[in-house]
Amino acid sequence: MVSAWDYLCSVPDPEIPVVDVVSMGIVREIEESPECVTVTITPTYSGCPAMAEIENSIREALYEAGYSQVEMRTKIAPVWTTDWITDEAREKLRTYGIAPPERRCASVNAKNSVNCTFCGSDKTRLKSEFGSTPCKALRVCQNCLQPFEHFKCI
């Protein structure tokens, strides 16, 4: 049987369309009854401007799938972490050109190596902790000299 989870697996993240809202860990819970479906989502960052867009896309996808009533809830705790991003989504991020976050990163200070998305070298350095969206940092590869984005570990 196809469930609401399956439909949401095809709802892309508006900022990074190669990954979906389920594999990014944004969808937390789904309660289904014959008529109504309640979806609970969690923001990645407090000020993530994509949340409204994500909510709309989820509604739209579920209405299209035939649900007549969709209720959205937002839940903050437990706090979203990049550890919830699935392995498959990490691989998609890498192919898309964004180095995926390291695992188990309770300590943001941890000196994990981040591999270049172009040449794979682990000799890369942090250029800035802030990038084009709250979730990304800027890095530069010291081997191939290419700048690239890194999905910050939080």
Partner 1 sequence: MKLTKKLSKQVFVYLLRHADDRLVLGHRLSEWCGHAPMMEEDLALANIALDLIGQATLLYKLAAETENCGRTEDDLAFLRDPSEFRNLQLVEQPKGDFAYTIARQFLFDAYDVLFLDELSLSTHPELAGIAAKALKEAQYHLRHTQQWMMRLGDGTVESHRRLQDAVEDIWRFSGELFVPDNFDQTLVAERIGVDLESLRPSWQETVSETFREATLDLPGDEQYFASGSRGGYHTEHLGFLLAEMQVLQRTHPGATW
Place of tokens 């898309």: 96
- Nearest Cα residue to 133 out of 50, 52, 58: 50
Q: Which is nearer to partner 1, 47 or 66 (CB)?
A: 47
127 binds partner 1 (CB under 8 A): yes
Give, as ranges, the residues between 95 and 114 that touch partner 1 (CB under 8 A): 108-109
Q: Rule CB under 8 A: choose which of 18, 36, 79, 145 binds partner 1.
A: 79
Q: Which residues pair with 32 in a beta bridge?
A: 37
Stretch that binds partner 1, among 16-24, 53-61, 89-97, 121-129 (CB under 8 A): 121-129
Output 12 or 43, the one with its CB closest to partner 1. 43
- Pick the binder of partner 1 from 72, 138, 140, 144 (CB under 8 A): 138
State which residue, 112 or 128, has the beta carbon closest to partner 1. Answer: 128
Binding flag, residue 132, partner 1 (CB under 8 A): yes
Q: State the Cα–Cα distance between residues 124 and 142, nearest whole angstrom.
A: 5
Determine the Cα–Cα distance for residues 9 and 20; give it in Å rounded to an integer.
6
Residue 134 Cβ vs partner 1, minimum distance, rounded to whole Å: 6
- Of the candidate residues 68, 69, 112, 128, the single one contacting partner 1 (CB under 8 A): 128
Q: For 58-113, give the DSSP string.
A: HHHHHHHTT-SEEEEEE--SSPP-GGGS-HHHHHHHHHHTEEPPPSS-SSTT----
